[in-house]
């Protein structure tokens, strides 16, 4: 009997010494530690707002676990994987491509995005056609990146290759150095190139280096895989329920809609046409509780900020109002800049208020813009078609797939408001999103220049 009690006691003591699964400890502590990097494609803080695909994904995952996130940003990219391998964070969400070499150090979740490595140069320079064409120029990449590893392998075949692997710089900084002509080339992932080219259309892709590569979260190799399994299940779910596709559309679904000429024309008009209109855009935006830069982007899409603009269908003015819309909004003269901008802002707000309250931002704004362009009735028809086809009528990424169907008889005859050129509102919204991003970037850049100019005039304390 005594032996039996000793055995039971030893089993109880043993069971008490078994540590709880990692995921349970994280839930108890209420904190998830994630390594990331400062990059528009991953995590970037601007004033009090944080954006980035990786940030949004991590926040969704943390919400499922019921915990907060502590983000860790190393000084250099090449510190990320070693830190994960040592278990200094729970995982890395840093736009990491999956390679065979990296899988020896860490384990990856299923991919949530695919990218291609691209050699980038500036327009006006001679385009390199192969990697050895870079030997007479300055090529810089991030230290520890898959691009650095790729070049090392290519150097075995092409010993003449030369490049610098820079620490403590981001891919966006290297792309900017190419734009500023301080270096001749860099290699970056296609998603990062696309985001940078919105603001620097002079950046050109010479060629791709290799095939598409998966992007995934990196976890340490460990016996306790409870958190890793939860992350895998999360990635699987967001793929299946469409929320991943919606996020990808939010960040990348519109970024390459404007070509080089569009960007240069817009930049010229920002200098020549916009300044006299800013006060009126700000006044109308404040009166209708909206961002003046969004209102200005709509005005540019409508008229290129030309108060005298008139279309063949009779719409006119900065905001290209129809006579019926102008009458509804109390606009007596559509060519009067202040009246036109005010009328456009009021009309956009009226369309937005018709949308169901459950539709959240930024989808709410994109749908309101589509309704502003094509009419609220046609927008509702597209939402009905979206629901019929198994999509989410409250998500712009799904509704934008249905709008073009309104031009096809087999679809438009089944809805209330009939035929519509549904591709137009899709292009309309995509363009406005691009113009808005350009305006925000330009205005932020101007503010920084003003601050730097003021600082430079302040005498140093003795």
What one-character-per-residue DSSP string does 99-141 give? -HHHHHHEEEPPPSEEE-EEEEEEBTBPPPSSGGGGTTS-EEE
Q: Which residue has the tokens 């080339």?
A: 185
CB 89 within 8 A of CB 41: no
Element housing 7 (H / E): helix 2-17
Q: Are 111 and 214 in contact (CB under 8 A)?
A: yes
Question: 462: pLDDT confidence band, cut at 50, 70 and 90?
Answer: very low
CB 102 within 8 A of CB 81: yes
Same fold, 20-113+215-252 and 117-210: yes
Q: Helix and strand tally (H, E) in the chain? A: 20, 13
Whole-number Cα distances in Å, 281 to 317, 370, 448: 14, 20, 22
User: What is the spatial distance between Cα 377 and Cα 417, in angstroms, rounded to a whole number?
Assistant: 6
Cβ(240)–Cβ(246) below 8 Å: no
- State mean pLDDT over 115-138: 96
Q: What is the pLDDT of residues 367-422, one digit of tens each?
A: 999 999 999 999 999 999 999 999 999 999 999 999 999 999 999 999 999 999 99
Q: Using CA atoms, how far apart are residues 428 and 433, in angstroms rounded to an integer?
A: 9
Q: Give 9's pLDDT tier (boundaries 50, 70, 90).
A: low
User: Is pLDDT larger for residue 193 or for residue 458?
Assistant: 193
Region 245-255: mean pLDDT is 87
Q: Break the chain into its structural domains and give their ranges.
A: 20-113+215-252, 117-210, 260-438
What DSSP letter does each residue of 263-286 carry, written as one string? Answer: HHHHHHHHHHTSGGGHHHHHHHHH
Q: What's the mean pLDDT in 148-167?
A: 96
Count Cα neighbours of 353 within 13 Å in the Cβ-side half-sphere: 9
In angstroms, rounded to a whole number, what is the distance separating the alpha carbons of residues 80 and 83?
5
* Phi, psi for 96 (deg, rounded to 5): -85, 125
Could you give the residue numbers annotated as active site? 302
Task: Give residue-wise pLDDT tens across range 12-40.
Answer: 555 555 678 999 999 999 999 999 999 98
Taking the model in full, what pTM does it have? 0.79
Q: Fold for domain 117-210?
A: D-Maltodextrin-Binding Protein; domain 2 (3.40.190)
Q: Which residue has the higher pLDDT, 11 or 83?
A: 83
CATH topology of domain 260-438: Lysozyme (1.10.530)
Q: Which residues of 177-309 form beta strands (DSSP E)?
A: 185-189, 203-208, 213-220
Q: What percent of the chain has pLDDT over 70?
A: 93
Average pLDDT over residues 427-440: 93
Q: What band does 183 get if pLDDT is binned at 50, 70 and 90?
A: very high
Name the CATH code of domain 20-113+215-252 (choices 3.40.50.150, 3.40.190.10, 2.60.40.10, 3.40.50.10420): 3.40.190.10
Angle value at C-alpha 430, between 429 and 433, nearest 5 degrees: 85
């Amino acid at each position: 009997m005594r032996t039996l009690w000793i055995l039971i006691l030893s089993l109880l003591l043993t069971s008490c010494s078994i540590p709880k699964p990692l995921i349970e400890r994280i839930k108890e502590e209420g904190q998830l530690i994630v390594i990331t990097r400062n990059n528009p494609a991953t995590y970037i803080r601007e004033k009090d707002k944080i954006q980035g695909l990786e940030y949004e994904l991590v926040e969704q995952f943390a919400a499922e676990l019921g915990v907060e996130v502590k983000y860790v940003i190393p000084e250099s990219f090449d510190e990320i994987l070693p830190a994960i391998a040592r278990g200094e964070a729970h995982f890395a969400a840093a736009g990491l491509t999956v390679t065979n070499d990296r899988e020896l150090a860490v384990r990856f979740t299923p991919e949530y995005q695919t990218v291609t490595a691209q050699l980038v140069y500036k327009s006006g320079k001679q385009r390199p056609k192969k990697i050895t064409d870079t030997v007479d120029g300055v090529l810089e990449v991030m230290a520890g990146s898959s691009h650095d590893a790729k070049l090392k392998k290519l150097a075995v075949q092409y010993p003449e290759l030369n490049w610098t692997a820079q620490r403590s710089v981001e891919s966006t900084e290297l792309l900017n150095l190419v734009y500023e002509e301080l270096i001749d080339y860099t290699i970056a992932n296609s998603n990062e190139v696309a985001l940078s080219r919105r603001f620097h259309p002079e950046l050109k892709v010479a060629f791709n280096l290799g095939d598409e590569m998966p992007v995934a979260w990196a976890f340490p190799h460990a016996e306790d895989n409870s958190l890793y399994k939860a992350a895998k299940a999360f990635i699987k779910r967001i793929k299946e329920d469409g929320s991943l596709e919606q996020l990808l559309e939010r960040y990348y679904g519109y970024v390459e809609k404007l070509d080089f000429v569009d960007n240069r024309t817009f930049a010229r008009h920002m200098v020549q046409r916009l300044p006299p209109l800013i006060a009126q855009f700000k006044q109308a935006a404040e009166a209708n509780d909206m961002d003046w830069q969004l209102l200005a982007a709509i005005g540019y899409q409508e008229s290129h900020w030309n108060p005298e603009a008139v279309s063949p269908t009779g719409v006119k003015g900065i905001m290209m109002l129809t006579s019926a819309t102008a009458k509804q909004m109390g606009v007596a003269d559509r060519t009067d800049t202040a009246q036109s901008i005010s009328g456009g802002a009021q009309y956009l707000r009226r369309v937005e208020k018709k949308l169901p309250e459950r539709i959240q931002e930024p989808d709410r704004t994109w749908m309101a813009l589509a309704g502003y362009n094509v009419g609220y009735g046609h927008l509702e028809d597209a939402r009905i078609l979206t629901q019929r086809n198994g999509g989410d009528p409250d998500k712009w990424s799904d509704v934008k797939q249905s709008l073009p169907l309104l031009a096809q008889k087999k679809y438009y005859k089944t809805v209330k408001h009939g035929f519509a050129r549904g591709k137009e509102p899709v292009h309309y919204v995509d363009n406005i999103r691009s113009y808005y991003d350009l305006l925000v970037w330009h205005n932020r850049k101007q503010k920084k220049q003003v601050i730097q100019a003021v600082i430079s005039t302040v005498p140093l304390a003795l």
